[in-house]
Amino acid sequence: MARVQFLGTGNAFSPAGRMNALVLIDEKILVDTPPTLMPQLRRENISPAEIEHLLITHWHADHIFGFPFLMLDRHHVSDPSQERNLTVHLRPEGRELLESITELGFPGSVEKGTLSVVKWNENEITNLENSDWKFERFKVCHTPETDPHGYELTHSNGFVFLHTGDSGPCEEIDSRAGRADVILVEMGVPNFVESPHHHTPNDITALAERFPNSKILVTHNFASSELERNGFPKPKLSNSIMQLEDGDEMIISENGEIKFVNKNT
């Protein structure tokens, strides 16, 4: 069995009722470290020291600016003797970038030692140690300066979870979407915004029509949560597409069946 928790489902603007997009797998694999990371972990009673793998998609602030807080907590509170493993999976030059925002945010407070116990992995294909998952990282279509990537995650039972990162439609996603059981797509902007670097509601409808056998989940939503009366209304999408809410969870059984729960609603 595997568990994928959607601890945040909002884009960079934190629409009403949503924190920044954040995925937690099996309580120890994180995809990205948004600025709202710490309250998101606290709300689920997950200690920062429990995170063993961190997969980074790209260098936008809503995806990485929580990193210094993760390290500050591990260093001073949850793992002061530095016994717990943390591997950060990222693109070349990412280590320097994450070290520099940590030093900028908490100068002198997160000693170099804390960051030197982190393992830095730049391989594009990796079996995640002490877990049932492996990944393949792939390039996506987003602001080029952020070196944007997605992750194709495969469970040992064969289940494929395609995290397409922050991206507009692109061939690299389509080449993998057909074999994915579940495709997670970031819907950063509404239809009236013309940007090749983000999926709009119309782009997601078209993706669902091209890949009718894959379950499509929407995160990084520009629209407010359905629990909020104010803010940007949620676009209407076909019933086969699920616009996630914060706190949604996907449970994957051994035979690959999925079910969704949300203990907040």
Under 8 Å CB-to-CB from 150, ≥6 apart: which residues? 57, 137, 138, 140, 162, 163, 164, 165, 167, 172, 173
Provide the 10 A C-beta neighbour count for residue 153.
26
Shortest Cβ distance from residue 252 to Zn ion (Å)?
A: 25
DSSP code of 20? Answer: B
Residues 143 and 60: beta-carbon distance below 8 Å? yes
Three-state SS for 7? strand
Q: Give the nearer residue to Zn ion in terms of CB position, either 75 or 199.
A: 199
Q: Give the nearer residue to Zn ion in terms of CB position, either 34 or 235.
A: 34
Shortest Cβ distance from residue 236 to Zn ion (Å)?
A: 23
Q: Give the nearer residue to Zn ion in terms of CB position, either 11 or 154.
A: 11
Which residues in 244-259 are b (16+ Cβ under 10 Å) and which e?
A: bbbbbbbebeeeeeee
Q: Binding residues for Zn ion, per CB under 5 A?
A: 12, 60, 62, 166
Q: Give the nearer residue to Zn ion in terms of CB position, either 56 or 71.
A: 56
Q: Give the nearer residue to Zn ion in terms of CB position, either 166 or 181.
A: 166
Shortest Cβ distance from residue 206 to Zn ion (Å)?
A: 21
Copy the structure tokens of residue 21: 């997009």
Shortest Cβ distance from residue 31 to Zn ion (Å)?
A: 12
For the chain, first and last CA: distance in Å? 23
E strands, the chain, in order? 2-8, 22-25, 29-31, 53-55, 87-89, 119-121, 125-127, 133-139, 149-155, 160-163, 182-186, 215-219, 241-243, 248-252, 258-262
Q: Give the nearer residue to Zn ion in terms of CB position, either 53 or 142.
A: 142
Shortest Cβ distance from residue 185 to Zn ion (Å)?
A: 12
Shortest Cβ distance from residue 48 to Zn ion (Å)?
A: 21
